[in-house]
Amino acid sequence: MTRAIFSWMAGLSCMLSAATWADTSDYQLTNINPQPLHGPWTLVQLPDQSWVVTERRGNLVLIKPDGSMTRTKVPLPGLYFKGQGGLLDFALAQDFALSGKVLLTYAQGTDEANRLVVVSATYEDDALTDITPILTLQPDRATPVHFAGRLAVMSDGTWLVSSGDGFDYREQAQVISSHLGKILRFREDGSPAQDHPFAEAPYVYSLGHRNPQGLLINPATQQIIEHEHGPAGGDEINVIAAGENYGWPVITNGKDYSGARITPFEQYAGMQQPAYDWTPSVAPSGMALYQHTLFSELTGHLLVTTLKAQSLLSVNISGTPVRSERIFATIDQRLRDVAVGQDGAIYVLTDGSKAGIIKVTPAE
């Protein structure tokens, strides 16, 4: 199939203005998991090149370089596995190679009262020990959706975690005393960082978010980049700064799922505009920053997996204008997360009950 036909398919299925980046002759796809994954949420590479995948029902799956695969149930107190809830993110501490320290996020509670929890643990010999809750977000909600839960560690060793608005509680995203609809910053023991921007809310780093699924820090610039789901339209990429308000639900480019207007405002004083907006929605999920020479055309670009658009996107937020391009056009299914391997290959985690990890490399 020619590059032109791929470009037409990308524009039709994703409603994106940019062309498809690569022809099938340019790359090859390999599935690296020997058995299916069940409802995965994230994938992380360990220093020994093994991959860890979380499954929302509460499992950690380890896939070693030799192809062996093990699944371990994580003893998480009160795990709430329903809707978008369950075991979510898994992230390595800066000193992981020495300490084995990791952080995880998961949904905890019941239908009537649930919440996002951050726990610390030690990961060694393919098992988690010393599982300790360090941050419990408040207030409780009575919805099984919009938990967010993405983790990122800053250069000073403090952490960020994204928190969703709970769907039915969207006004809480503008309430400074609430953890809903925020990005929170904390120390590795769960205490608030010292230099917080809001005296009355020591954990809140930024506010006005809907359901942030992507969160990373550019190691070269220390720029914090986040993406989040809008409603029907208005999916966003934001460059996050301490103390800023990103508008939800006062400003949005999306509408309610019924077609009704959520707000009359697309701009408002004191509220930040997104670095990039997807309207119609693509439903962004995972995100990684590509910094390798294997795919030199992508160096410095964000890689974004999508659920609704069923494609992997490349976004260069330093460009003028910012562009979103579909890449690797033969990956055409719901995608949950993306990571860049130590080898420079791109690893894409698919979504669903029979999911897999697709390794993308240049064609030989």
Q: Which residues are catalytic?
A: 146
Task: Answer yes or no: are the C-beta atoms of 60 and 74 closer than 8 Å.
Answer: yes
Structural element, H or E, at residue 107? strand 101-109
Residue 293: CB atoms within 10 Å? 8
- Residue 212 tokens read as 């942030």
**What radius of gyration, in Å, describes the C-alpha atoms of the chain?**
19
Task: Answer yes or no: are the C-beta atoms of 244 and 272 closer than 8 Å.
Answer: yes
Would you give the end-to-end CA distance of the chain in angstroms? 18
Task: Report the alpha-carbon distance of residue 224 to residue 203 in Å, rounded.
Answer: 16
What is the spatial order of strands in the sheet that 101-109 belongs to?
A: 87-92, 101-109, 114-124, 127-136
User: Closest by alpha carbon to 151, among 82, 220, 205, 231?
Assistant: 205
Read off the amino acid at residue 93. Answer: A
What is the spatial order of strands in the sheet that 335-340 belongs to?
A: 27-31, 357-362, 346-350, 335-340
What is the spatial order of strands in the sheet that 59-63 belongs to?
A: 40-45, 51-55, 59-63, 69-73
